[in-house]
A and B are shown apart, each in its own frame.
Chain A
C-alpha cells in the first residue's frame, strides 16, 4: 500500500509523529494551514508514545498514565485536516525547503513554506566491550517491543546504565510479568553532589514523586547494584555473561539479555544535512541545534521542536511543537494565530515542563569511561572500527571525524554515524586535547537514510536533466 502526498506544495511540513510532531501538525492544521506530517514508523507516537493507537497492552496502569497522554494528541491530530503519511522516510531536506521522501520503495518530492523538524532523540551510544553481541540491546529497544507487541524479557536479564527511562522500563517489564535479574546503576557518585544545587527545581517538579515511587517499586523486586564503574559483555557469538566493577569489586553474572541505557541525544541527521547550525552542549554532552525562542533554526523556514531541539522530555516536546507551529502560523497567516493559545501562555507552559531538567541532566551525566572507550571496544558498529583503530588514525594524522572517514570509514555505514558520531567526536577530542566543538562532527548529506539506486533512478526527470548527463 503506497500513499503518496496529495499535493506538491504545503504551507507546513512536519517531520516526525512523536509528541512534538503530533502537536505541531495539529496546531498548524487547526489554524487552517495546509499541513503534511511525514513519519517513518508504522503508526503515530514516536518513541515515547510508541504504538499508542495499536498497543496490545490493555491494562492501562502497566504503561503508566504519562503514556496515555499520547492518545489525546493523536485524537487532536485526527480531528484536524492535517494529511498524515506513515512509513514515510524523509531522506532529503535542503535550504529551499524541498523535501524528498521514500514511501513504499518510491520517492516523492514536496515543497514547504515552513518545515518543522520533530525527529526526536535516539539512545546515546553505550560503547562497552561486547556491545555488538547478539543479546545486547538498548533499553529503548526493549521498551519498543513492550509497547508495540507486549513482549517482555524472559531469559536472564540485566539492565545497565542510568537515567529516568531505565527505571520506567524496569517497572513496565515487571508489571507485564517479565524477568529482570539485576540492575547495574552506572550513575557516578560525584553527580549527586553536582546535582544538589539544582535539586529544588526538581523536587518541585512532577518528575520527583513519580520517579521516586517507580524506583521503590523496582527496588522491591530486583537487586540493584549502584556505583558501577566498569561494564563489559562477553560471549561467543551470543551474550553469555556481563561483568562489572562496583565499589572496587569485580563480579560476573550469566546473562541472555543485556539492556543498555545512558540517556538519549538529539537525532540530528536531517537537520544537519539541511545545513542547520549545531553547537556542542557541554551539559547534555551532545550536539544541539542553535534555535531562537520559537524553535527557528539558522536555516530560514526550518524550525525544530521536541527532543531534536535539545533533550527536554515529552511534556516539553508537546509545547515546543505548539510554539513552532504557532510561529509558522504567525508568519504565514497572521490572523489565524488569534485562534491559537497565546505565545506567552505557551512559553510559560514550556518553562514549567522544563522544570527540573538541569537536575536530571547533571545527575545522569554519563561517566567518561562509558562514553569514551579504549582498546578493542567497537566504536563504529557498521564498519566495525575499534577505539584503538581511531586512536591509531589520529596518531598518523587524522584531525577530525571527516578525515577519519578516509582512514577508517567510520560513520560511512548504513547508520550514518548515528551510533558512533558522538563517540568519535569525544574520542578524537580527548586524543587531540581539543574540545568537541573544535573537533566537530561528520558532515552529513542527503540521503540521510539509505535508498536504493533503483529508487533514485526512478525519480521523474526533465529533458534538461537527461541532457545534462547524456553524452554526444
Chain B
C-alpha cells in the first residue's frame, strides 16, 4: 500500500463536487428541517412549532402503517433476492460465450425506466388481458391486483424480484470471478465436495460484495416509489402505500409541509442508521 501525501490543496480538486452536492443537498435539507419545525398557512407565513410535527408523525397511525408495510416489503424482497441472486450467480457459467449472453440479458431490467417497469407489469398482470393475470385466473386462482390486497402484494414483490435480482447476481458474479483459480485447484486436490467449495471458498470470498448488495438493495427498496406507484398507485386502498408514496402524497398532494418535513427527516435517519449499523456490525468481524 502506498502512503498518501498530506496536501491541503487537494481541497481545490474536490471543491466542484462539494459546491454541487452542497447546493443540491444542504439547501433542500435545510428547507426540510425548516418545514419540520414550523407551521404554515400559505403566503409564506411560518410559525415556530418546535417538535410538534415530529411528535405528531411518530404517533400517527398512518405513518406507523406505511412504515410497517415498508419494513415488511423490504424484508421479503431481501429474503428472496439475496439467496436467489447468489444461487443464480453460482450456477452461471464462469467463462465462455454464454457469460456475456447471461450478463447482457440479466442486466436488461436494470436499465428500464422505473415507470416503464411499473407499466410493463401493469400490462403483464392485468387479470383479463395480461399473461400473468390470465394464467393465474385460468388456474382457478382468484387474482386481481387492482382489487385484492394479496394479489397486489404478490405482484409488487414479484415485480421487484424481477427488477432487482439481477443486481445481486451481477455483484455476486463479480465476487466469484475474482476468486483465483488456485482455490478451486486446491479444493479439488483436498477432495472437497461441491457443497464444501460453496461453503468454504465461494461464500466467504463473496462476503464483501454481498454486503454491498445487501446495503444497495436495502436502501433502494426502502426508497421505492415509482414502480409500485405506477402499478397499483399504492392501492387497493392503502395496501401497497410505502413510505415514499405516502410522503409524496403528504408533500406534493396535500402540501402539508410540516408533517412532510418531519416524515422526510425520520425516513432519512432510519436509512442512515440502518446502513451504518449493518456496515459496522458486519465489518467488525473483518477487522479481527
Pairing of A with B:
no
